[in-house]
Amino acid sequence: MNQAIARDRVSRDLADAKCPPALVSECLGFVESGTAAAMLPKLSSHRRLLVERIHEYQDAIDCLDTLAHDLRRERGNS
């Protein structure tokens, strides 16, 4: 794969992965310098952040589900 295609693909994939602009720039610098593999720790770190966000949102969803369940149960017992 030539560098122009790799750079475009990496740029698109990082944008799709909701990477912040600074991380995209840093990773594209790795691609341009021929050290693309050096971005792996950065990608792992961003992935961990996304997983943490998933867990935070899941906790929020669970709280809403519990509240809705309790309200439905209370309404049924009235």
Give whole-number Cα distances, 70 to 60, 61, 62, 63, 76, in Å. 15, 14, 12, 11, 10
Q: How many CA atoms lie within 13 A of 12 on its CB side?
A: 6
Summarised one tens digit per residue, pLDDT across range 7-23 is: 899 999 999 999 999 99
pTM metric for this prediction: 0.76
Summarised one tens digit per residue, pLDDT across range 14-50 is: 999 999 999 999 999 999 999 999 999 999 999 999 9
Give whole-number Cα distances, 10 to 5, 30, 41, 49, 59, in Å. 8, 10, 15, 19, 32
Distance between CA atoms of 21 and 2, rounded to whole angstroms?
23
